[in-house]
């Protein structure tokens, strides 16, 4: 046993039992200093990323910034700025330390941030306003953005509240968010509440009072096992008759709720301010939470310009969003230019089989097991397709089709925040929460997010800077256009 073993063991316990993020971060930093990880961070060299490319890019930015050469800075960024330049977002880089990454990578991100500020504030005798606006529009579009996806998970879904609370406190919430099933409840809170309102709403006592009786047995003679009235009342109290468009105008967040059709030959739908601006959020959430058999499917509602409530997509009913679109990454990518995902995953069908870090398989064993897993999945889908073709009963076909959708989905993102794997989680899936279990789930969500906060901050810093500066330029453009229109004879 070396002289450092006992202090390191103590720091490991401090990390594990930290009561808040500041304690966690301090223990991680102390561990890295003592373990030698800080020396690894200080050295540029590593096989896990192209350090020579990043060194060169930093040098070029520094030289151009020193000269005040704005056009050179714009040209350097246009050459190939993206979130994983030189593999700097490689998850393998996280395995060498408890917190942080290579200093060179952090320096590169800081240099890009400084460069963007220098461009946006440049003298407009050198770079005119519309050249700046065009640069930020093109660069923001090319760079892409991150999204937060909140999975299904029934009673385990309140884990998401802790994750969101942690991200909100650090102001790391992406503006593109999706929620399915239980995740749709927390997604709708993000849609309808500002930063400060979220601080107040994401309280275990408050959430417990809302959902303590969400599961009430309806009887075997009904069309679902549980009465949905308590859930519906809680959702109306939380979200009233707010539409997706009204919510977006208030918070500026692009929040999507996913729902699945309750019949064959229909695809899942993504409800948001772009695709369904007048749809009512509370009804979308109620539909997304309608786990088959557990809750009955739902007729969606919309609000007319005069304020009347009318059916939305008449003659169709919708159910649990996680059945067909737990994590609708590809469609979010098309709608919002998303190319990086943060997933809070509580789906009991997925959590036991995934890791919080997506690290490429290197060993022959890892490659073999991954290939076998992919073969098993594709073979299962093929077998289910064959069974569906042979079955004539419509209800049976629908059930088989839903099973296929569950198997054929992708349940992971670039960053995955997961609850601890423990048998007690199973009992929480369909149980009414206690205040103690609600507290435990939310605390678990907060703690599970802590190892990812530095990673999320690094991976989103440049895209957030780009979109912030673009928004400011667009505001200025709107003001100047109004001023021009006012003075035009």
- Catalytic residues, by residue number, are 181, 320
User: DSSP state, 196?
Assistant: H
From CA 147, how far away is CA 308, in angstroms rounded? Answer: 33
Q: Which two tokens stand for residue 200?
A: 């107040």
Q: Are 311 and 300 in contact (CB under 8 A)?
A: yes
φ and ψ at residue 184, rounded to 5 degrees: -70, -30
Q: Which two tokens stand for residue 335?
A: 């709608």
How many CB atoms sit inside 10 A of residue 477's CB?
13
Biggest CA–CA distance in the chain, Å, is 85
Contacts with 315 (C-beta within 8 Å, 6 or more apart), sequence order: none
Give the CA-trace dihedral at 355, 358, 363, 368, to 10 degrees: 70
Give the CA-trace dihedral at 474, 477, 483, 489, to 10 degrees: -130
Cβ burial, residue 394 (10 Å; 0-12/13-18/19+): exposed
Q: Are 244 and 270 in contact (CB under 8 A)?
A: no
From CA 125, how far away is CA 133, in angstroms rounded? Answer: 15
């Amino acid at each position: 046993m070396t002289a450092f073993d006992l202090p390191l063991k103590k720091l490991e316990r401090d990390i594990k039992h930290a009561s808040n993020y500041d304690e966690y971060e301090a223990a991680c930093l102390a561990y890295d200093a003592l373990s030698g990880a800080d020396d690894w961070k200080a050295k540029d060299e590593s096989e896990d990323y192209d350090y020579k490319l990043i060194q060169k890019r930093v040098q070029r930015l520094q030289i151009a910034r020193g000269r005040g050469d704005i056009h050179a800075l714009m040209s350097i960024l246009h050459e190939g700025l993206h979130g994983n330049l030189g593999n700097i977002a490689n998850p393998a880089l996280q395995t060498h330390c408890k917190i942080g990454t290579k200093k060179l990578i952090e320096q590169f991100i800081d240099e890009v941030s400084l460069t963007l500020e220098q461009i946006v504030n440049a003298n407009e005798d050198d770079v005119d306003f519309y050249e700046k606006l065009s640069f930020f529009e093109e660069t923001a579009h090319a760079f892409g953005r991150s999204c937060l996806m909140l999975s299904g998970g029934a009673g385990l879904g309140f884990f998401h509240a802790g994750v969101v609370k942690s991200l909100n406190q650090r102001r790391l919430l992406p503006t593109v968010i999706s929620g399915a099933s239980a995740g749709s409840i927390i997604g709708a809170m993000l849609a309808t509440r500002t930063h400060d309102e979220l601080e107040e709403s994401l309280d275990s006592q408050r959430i417990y009072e809302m959902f303590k009786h969400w599961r009430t047995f309806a009887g075997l003679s009904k069309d679902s096992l549980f009465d949905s009235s308590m859930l519906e009342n809680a959702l109306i109290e939380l979200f009233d008759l707010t539409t997706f468009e009204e919510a977006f105008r208030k918070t500026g967040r692009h929040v999507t709720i996913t729902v699945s059709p309750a019949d064959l030959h229909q695809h899942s739908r993504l409800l948001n301010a772009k695709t369904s601006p007048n749809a009512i959020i509370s009804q979308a959430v109620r539909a997304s939470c309608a786990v088959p058999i557990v809750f009955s499917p739902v007729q969606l509602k919309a609000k007319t310009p005069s304020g009347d409530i009318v059916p939305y997509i008449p003659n169709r009913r919708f159910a649990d969003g996680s059945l067909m679109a737990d994590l609708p990454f590809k469609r979010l990518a098309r709608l919002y230019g998303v190319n990086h995902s943060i997933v809070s995953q509580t789906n009991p069908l997925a959590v036991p089989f995934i890791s919080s870090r997506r690290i490429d398989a290197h060993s022959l064993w890892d490659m073999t097991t991954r290939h076998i897993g992919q073969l098993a999945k594709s073979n299962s889908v093929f077998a289910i397709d064959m069974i569906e073709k042979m079955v004539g009963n419509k209800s049976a076909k629908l059930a088989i089709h839903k099973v296929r959708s569950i198997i054929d989905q992708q349940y992971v993102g670039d960053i995955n925040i997961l609850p601890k794997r423990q048998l007690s989680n199973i009992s929480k899936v369909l149980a009414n929460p206690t205040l103690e279990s609600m507290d435990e789930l939310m605390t678990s969500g907060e703690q599970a997010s802590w190892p990812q906060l530095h990673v999320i901050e690094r991976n989103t810093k440049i895209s957030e800077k780009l979109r912030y500066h673009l928004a400011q330029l667009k505001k200025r453009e709107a003001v100047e256009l109004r001023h021009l229109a006012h003075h035009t004879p």
